[in-house]
Amino acid sequence: FDHVIKPIVIAHSYGGHVATTAMQDRHALFGGLIICDLMLLRPERVKAFFEAEKPLRGGGARPNRIYPDYETARGRFVLSPPQPVTVSALFDYMAYHSLKRVEGGWSWKFDSGVFQGEFGQQEGMLRLGHVIAETPGRKAIVYGQDSVLFDDDSADYLRECGATDIPTIGIPGARHHLMLDEPIAFVSALRAVVTQWLAQ
């Protein structure tokens, strides 16, 4: 963190909650935050989503399941929300780097302890637009324009919450997992934001 160029955080989906919290607590350490397709909907859409969908698990953290071998664990890897996969090599790469060897087999790298907070719960989601707008530091949004979790209306809503100075870039033809749908366009958008920030 002592380098003349401070690190820029790029966070996708649920990671956007964690990264936003980091920016709230230690924004001076970072050069900026790019949030990629974090679920952000108007309050009425949030309520409708939670009425229609199974809520994320809360309460105490449960240990991740251990699978006997990589093939078994890999078979359990799915996209949420589901979407078509056009480049299987990218999907396989994502699956491989989501798993780790542990005693007794293979398990997920994901820390289930994050579910103990309000991340992804309805109360937190209702405030999220204002939270992002009020979080200090440089921020940008990149999202898939065909995503069900962040769309063009979400971008409008975020600006209504006060985030008028946050660059918001929609990737045409991309869904929530935009790095699988449109990887070149996604990387180009990230490079554009980072290049502009580094030039300032």
Task: Give the pLDDT confidence of 20-56 residue by residue, as tens digits.
Answer: 999 999 999 999 999 999 999 999 999 898 888 755 5
Whether the per-residue pLDDT at 124 is higher than 70: the answer is yes
Burial 53-63 (b: 16+ CB within 10 A, else e): eeeeeeeeeee
DSSP E strands in the chain: the ranges are 8-12, 32-36, 99-102, 105-108, 139-144, 168-171
Q: Given this model, what pLDDT does residue 110 score?
A: 86
Start and end residues for every CATH 3.40.50.1820 domain found in the chain: 8-53+119-199
**Edge-to-edge strands, sheet with 168-171:** 8-12, 32-36, 139-144, 168-171
Whether the per-residue pLDDT at 199 is higher than 80: the answer is yes
Task: Give the pLDDT confidence of 89-111 residue by residue, as tens digits.
Answer: 999 999 999 999 999 999 999 88
Whether the per-residue pLDDT at 120 is higher than 80: the answer is no
What rounded mean pLDDT belongs to the chain? 91
Which of 28-32, 58-62, 99-103, 119-123 is predicted with the least confidence, judged by mean pLDDT? 58-62
CATH number of 8-53+119-199, picked from 2.60.40.420, 3.30.565.10, 3.30.870.10, 3.40.50.1820: 3.40.50.1820
Whether the per-residue pLDDT at 1 is higher than 80: the answer is no
Q: How far is CA 189 from the centre of its chain?
A: 15
State percent of the chain over pLDDT 90. 78
> Mean of the pLDDT values across residues 160-169?
97
Q: Given this model, what pLDDT does residue 194 score?
A: 98
Contacts of 20 (CB under 8 A, 6+ apart): 11, 33, 35, 131, 132, 135
> Which of the pair, 117 or 151, is modelled with greater confidence?
151
Q: Given this model, what pLDDT does residue 61 score?
A: 62
> How does residue 4 score in pLDDT terms, banded at 50, 70 and 90?
confident
State percent of the chain over pLDDT 70. 92
Q: Given this model, what pLDDT does residue 143 score?
A: 98
Q: Given this model, what pLDDT does residue 3 score?
A: 84
Both structure tokens of 145: 């324009």
